[in-house]
Amino acid sequence: MSEYRADFPILNQTVNDEPLVYLDNAATAQKPRAVVQAITNYYYHDNANVHRGVHTLAERATQEFEAVRDKVAKFINAPSREEIVYTKGTTEGLNWVAASYGSTHVKAGDEIVISYLEHHSNLVPWQQLAKKTGAILKYIDLLPDGELDLTSARRQITDKTAIVSLTQASNVLGVVNPIKKIAALAHQHGAIMVVDGAQSTPHFKVDVQAMDADFYAFSGHKLMAPTGIGVLWGKSELLADMPPLEFGGEMIDWVQLQKTTFKAAPWKFEGGTQNIAGVIGLGAAIDYLSAIGMDRVQKHEQQLVNYLLPALLEIPGVTVYGPHDPAKHSGVISFNLAGLHPHDVATALDMEGVAVRAGHHCAQPLMEWLKVAATARASLYLYNNLADAQKLVEAIKATKEFFNHGTI
């Protein structure tokens, strides 16, 4: 997709006198001109608070703000725009489900089931809910290559299970979970299915109805929208039954001295002035991706994985975590270089102009399962190309040579 690289001015720079190769997309994606321009246009021409005014700027801002709900609903195939709740990101969406739905539907002795793959955002809220309610937090085990163990899932999900919450795509191992199968299992036992879509929504077509999730959360900044904006989708009957968590302006229906009634979802969850520019930027990012086509995005990333994963596996001393079959791998590849701390590897790669992530990736229980303290992680997106993947391979080889022999 080389025709799209020109839309991302940040890629046209040098880092440490080397052309930038940006491979930290699982942390955040770069923004195309169209997104930046949409935000600029809002601030230059339509800057006003939404819902509260009858003047022209307020009406234009409100129309833009609400139109994005329709775009999001179409993008993830939600049945209704009223099921789209704006949040500041995946973390907030998952926390809201745990704190609001969980506080009214989970009791002592109930079970909450997650997996060893989870980002802390889809782990700590459930820990806290279990601690608060007396529920039991259980983990689905993994197969040796890091894929979800379906036999373990069938064992862990029981008639006592109230909530199952899983990532759709791992931010460490690159595996894509069979959400539809797990959702069916959860529903057989009367549980709801919560999905962390942070690493899936930007990279392949998402259909919340087909997967039969009950809640689905994702972040805008990972799909080229601004930071500080995200979405929580929930089935309408579940959102209607959830109490709001923040109280103040706009989310109310009527306030009396001793009593307040609230608006219907999604607005009862959106108290106070929202991230209006962020929402507009999210809409522009969805327009951009929709024009390309998510099937094309996925196909392009898969072609890069088909080259990069085998190439990394061929380098002596490199350990790649997760499935070694490219067909089972998203564009997230975690690895270590023997004898080197991942931070040293990432620093050395940065000297070659290659940006990767290093650390525990907010997945410390998974690191413990892998028996490592941390990994380096390269993650791909639509503006990356074969030359970027080749540069990573060359830079890893150069790093290995430097630390083994002291020269590059």
Give the catalytic positions in this structure.
Answer: 362
Q: What is the DSSP string of 18-77?
A: EE-EE-BTTT-----HHHHHHHHHIIIII---SSS--SHHHHHHHHHHHHHHHHHHHHHT
Residue 101 buriedness (CB in 10 A; 0-12 / 13-18 / 19+): buried
Strands 84-87 and 230-234: antiparallel
Amino acid found at 200: S
- Helix (H) and strand (E) counts in the chain: 14, 17
What residue has token string 């309610």? 133
Please state, in angstroms and rounded to a whole number, the distance separating the CA atoms of residues 400 and 344. Answer: 11
HSE at residue 17, side-chain half, CA atoms within 13 A, is 0
Q: Are the beta carbons of 179 and 195 closer than 8 angstroms?
A: yes
Return d(Cα 151, Cα 148) in angstroms, integer: 9
The one-letter amino acid at 89: G
311, 397 Cβ separation under 8 angstroms: no
- Give the CA count within 13 Å in the CB-facing half-sphere of 77: 12
